[in-house]
Amino acid sequence: MLAAVSRFDLRIPGVRSLKEKRHVVKTLTGSLRATFNASVAEVDHHDLWQRTAIGISVVAPDGHQCRRIVQEVERHVGGFPGVETIDVVTSFHAPDD
């Protein structure tokens, strides 16, 4: 078993208010939950209109599958309309860590 935790620092250039930002973030996080059955939360930049940080965690039975899921999540976030990826940091954790 392997768990992966990723932090996505994102820019949302098209929004003009926190309400618009929350709509984009809610749509993105909901899409990630539904598509990948992942745990997702907004973890930083709560008060900035055009910035956000999303934390995502996934668990898989082996390293290969875990890495594949993380790559698919990165592609999904990178292709999400209206969102630009600034940085991604991922760490992998085994039960004996």
φ, ψ for residue 90 (rounded to 5)? -125, 140
Q: Give the model's pLDDT for residue 44.
A: 93
Q: Could you tell me which of 9, 6, 66 has the C-alpha nearest to residue 40?
A: 6
- Mean confidence (pLDDT) of the chain: 94
Distance CA 83, CA 62 (A): 30
- Please give the CATH superfamily to which domain 2-93 belongs: TT1725-like (3.30.70.1120)
Q: Whole-angstrom distance between the N-terminal and C-terminal Cα of the chain?
A: 12
Q: Give the model's pLDDT for residue 97.
A: 74
Q: Give the model's pLDDT for residue 96.
A: 82
- Environment class of residue 84 by beta-carbon count within 10 Å: exposed (0-12), middle (13-18) or buried (19+)? middle
Spans in the chain with pLDDT lower than 50? none
- With a threshold of 0.85, does the pTM exceed it? yes
Distance CA 80, CA 88 (A): 15
Q: Give the model's pLDDT for residue 83.
A: 95
